[in-house]
Structure 1
Amino acid sequence: MEAINLNRLVYFAAVVDAASFTRAADRLGITKAVVSQQVAQLERELRTDLLVRTTRRVEPTEAGRLLHARCAAILREAESALAELAQSNAEPMGLLRIAAPNDYGTCTLAAIATEFSRTYPACRVELILADSKIDLVASQIDLSIRVGWLDDSALQTRRVGSFRQLLVAAPNVVRRVAHPRDLAALPFIANAALREPLTWQFMKGDVERESVEMSQTLTINTTPAVLAATLAGGGLAVLPDFLIRDDLAAGRLVAILPSWTLPSGGIHAVFPAARFRPPKVTAFVAMLMEAHKRAVAGGPRRAK
């Protein structure tokens, strides 16, 4: 038997349903000749007569009735599947698995994931927080948010925004600091999660550059714990602005050397390589970008 073109089942079913080649052609929006040709080819492929043609009406043979019963069910299932796919393309649904660092996930993504779940009740969100990188494909992650500087990768990325790194301390431990070179003698809380937790490049305008090697009094391997130690008065620390915005606004932390800046980093959405992104992923990234725009910039409180 020759390979059967399943598309011809559509023409055949339309003829049986309409009991006419002409009416079937009208329903399908094509010519009667095309419908007749496709049905005839289907009969040749199956090597059996499917229809009895008269001048007034077209009736299925016994084989035609059996085939019509089966193909009608197949076509209904196909229509249902396509309708479901079209709905899924328009409305986010299903499980959305997101990986992110602990600090950004806790202070930013948890609230956005909650808002997303309320907005799209057909979606369930699983937020996986870890400071180490996760293999998106092996772990079946739909979306990863990476904060900092991206390595070369075959993954697809979209920049969500940026963040500033700020040198801060609790108000009760601040001394008057005139220049970055004065920092080496001050207590510093090192973040062991960073590649170079003690060496920092300070910049002022486009001309002045100063590299400083800090002297740590405490080393901690997670950013939220570095923040906790800084708030407790353990020393100076470099922390991302998104994590300490509220503490700066409330005066629990102050910015040290605010006229000098540290290198800024990026916030990126990272996706497994794919031609199309599911609506749930697209919708979450759009919500994240909007939330980032709404975030209160709030200038840091300066040390006196």
Structure 2
Amino acid sequence: MSKARNLNRLAYFAAVVETGSFTRAADRLGVTKAVVSAQVTQLELELKTTLLVRNTRKVSATEAGQAFYTRCAAILHDADDAFGELAQLSDRPLGTLRMTAPHDYGTVIVTPVVAAFRRKYPECKVELHLGDSHSDLMSGDLDLAIRVGWLRDSGLMARKIGGFQQLLVGASKVEAQFDTITHPNDLKALDFIANMSLSDPLQWVFENEAKQSAPVKLENALSIDSGPAILEAVKGGAGVAILPDFLVRRDLQNNVLTRILPQWTLPEGGIFAVYPASKFRPIKVSAFVDMLRNA
């Protein structure tokens, strides 16, 4: 019985380490802060080890606590996978789907699918981490990564689930500024907003219907590292920018934005579901990817 109680307390301890807060851990677990604190304190008493350093600003793991957390996380993840394997028998996603996606695509496209997934499969929880850095899928902490653009070669399994176009856009309220823009070389006359989350945000190669290429190097009047923030700056008339179609589609349809040089295109990018190569793929992953592909 004591061992069973200890195993249950691992989830409380791991949640505190991952969130850095008893309050946020309680919110994640759906219990009170007092319950989390009591469970972690009891765990420390049973182990006769201080696992956490508590102060008014943040809770952090001690050296022993960090080592213990690494083992706890693996145990809890394996347990969650066990639920996933059982779910294969019932054809219903169970456990927790842990995934990551780029901030822009994750906010606009993935999050609404997560909401639909939760409505359809309320037994399955979701942890969605948004960020533009590539998380290590081989660590075992994630079931799935959604990646946008061009994949680097790796030992991971990838499935292309869609694509996107890169569009040069500006605010419709300053559309008169674009009348003299007939070739990519003319873009130097406009204020350009660079996306600093890209590896080379100023170098672009346009192509027309005759397959003629026009490489241009733009100068940044404004630099921002967030697609949605760039979109707001463009709508405010701060300059023009190159943004993915999924981010600007609605504003183009509503005539808030204008596409500049529509006769010239930029390379299309892919949208991929990426999995660990050797990891069991539970039905929760397959079900979510199918919903995202059809969104």
- The normalised TM-score by structure 2 is 0.68
The Cα shift of 1:242 comes to 0.5
Q: Provide the rounded CA distance (Å) in 2 between the counterparts of 1:87 and 1:135.
A: 25
Instruction: State which of 166, 173, 181 in structure 1 corresponds to 2:185.
Output: 181
**Structure 1 vs Structure 2 CA RMSD:** 1.8
The Cα shift of 1:84 comes to 9.1
Q: Provide the rounded CA distance (Å) in 1 between the counterparts of 2:144 and 2:236.
A: 35
- The normalised TM-score by structure 1 is 0.66
- Residue in 1 that maps onto 2:114: 113
The Cα shift of 1:83 comes to 11
The code of the aligned residue for 2:241 comes to A
SS in 1 for 2:242: strand
CA contact (8 A) 2:102 2:146 kept: yes
Q: Provide the rounded CA distance (Å) in 2 between the counterparts of 1:154 and 1:86.
A: 27
Q: How does 1:232-247 map to 2 (within 5 A)?
A: 232-247=236-251
- Residue in 1 that maps onto 2:259: 255
- Unpaired runs of 5+ in structure 2? 1-81
The code of the aligned residue for 1:122 comes to E
SS in 1 for 2:270: strand
SS in 2 for 1:137: helix
- Structure 1 residue 272 and structure 2 residue 268: aligned? no
Higher mean C-alpha displacement, 264-273 vs 89-98? 89-98
1:61-101 per-position Cα deviation (integer Å, ceiling 9, x unaligned) = xxxxxxxxxxxxxxxxxxxxx99955444221110011001
The code of the aligned residue for 2:276 comes to P
- Structure 1 residue 151 and structure 2 residue 152: aligned? yes
SS in 1 for 2:239: coil
Q: Provide the rounded CA distance (Å) in 2 between the counterparts of 1:251 and 1:144.
A: 33
CA contact (8 A) 1:203 1:261 kept: yes
CA contact (8 A) 1:220 1:226 kept: yes
SS in 2 for 1:283: helix
Q: Segments of 4+ in structure 1 off by > 6 A?
A: none
- Structure 1 residue 219 and structure 2 residue 227: aligned? no
- Structure 1 residue 100 and structure 2 residue 101: aligned? yes
- Structure 1 residue 163 and structure 2 residue 167: aligned? no
CA contact (8 A) 1:168 1:256 kept: yes
- Unpaired runs of 5+ in structure 1? 1-81, 292-304
- Indicate the percent of aligned positions where both proteins have the same amino acid: 49
Q: Provide the rounded CA distance (Å) in 1 between the counterparts of 2:84 and 2:140.
A: 26
The Cα shift of 1:139 comes to 5.9
Q: How does 1:1-304 map to 2 (within 5 A)?
A: 85-89=85-89, 90-138=91-139, 140-174=141-175, 175-176=178-179, 177-274=181-278, 276-291=280-295
1:41-76 per-position Cα deviation (integer Å, ceiling 9, x unaligned) = xxxxxxxxxxxxxxxxxxxxxxxxxxxxxxxxxxxx
The Cα shift of 1:276 comes to 3.8
Q: Provide the rounded CA distance (Å) in 2 between the counterparts of 1:110 and 1:87.
A: 23
